[in-house]
Amino acid sequence: MKDFAAIDFETANFERTSVCSVGVVIVRDGKKVDQFYSLIHPEPDYYNYVCSSVNGLCREDTEEAPIFPDVWKQIEPKIEGLPLVAHNKAFDETCLKAVFRMYQMDYPDYPFYCTLIKSRQVWPGGHHNLDIIAERCGYDLKNHHHALADAEACAAIALKIL
């Protein structure tokens, strides 16, 4: 796969609609050509300790951030015609579908691929966390759980194993 958009969401709480940041990396012909990052005002608008301790974000970070539909208007033209890739698509795809539903937006049924599933096929057994698989693919993931850093790692993994 040489043309895709790697995407990663972070959430404010355990509700899939509570996306509070998004990172997207656009790959065309096997090369990173664009990237996008934004904080998002989550819905519902509260943070729990677990999510904040993982992604480092809190209410003050997203208080003035745009809502999801406004952020998606910026992302949509960048990813047009591209399949989406995530490390653990079960999380990121359900977040994306949940916020589309919540804001009553028409979901375009994006093709979605998963580097986590593929890594389990390529390297059976052991742990398949994003940072571990990124390292196996020669990518040094710094700032893990920052949406753009995670999307960059996912893109690097996808270029190696998808």
Residue by residue, pLDDT tens for the chain (162 residues) are 999 999 999 999 999 999 999 999 999 999 999 999 999 999 999 999 999 999 999 999 999 999 999 999 999 999 999 999 999 999 999 999 999 999 999 999 999 999 999 999 999 999 999 999 999 999 999 999 999 999 999 999 999 999
Full DSSP string of 51-105: HHHHH---HHHHTTPPPHHHHHHHHHHHHTT--EEETTHHHHHHHHHHHHHHTTP
Question: What is the CATH classification number for the domain harbouring 64?
Answer: 3.30.420.10
Domain total in the chain: 1
Tokens coding 66: 């745009």
| Owning domain of residue 147 | 4-161
Q: Cis peptide before 69, with omega less than 30 degrees from 0? A: no
Quote the tokens at residue 130.
Answer: 């994003």
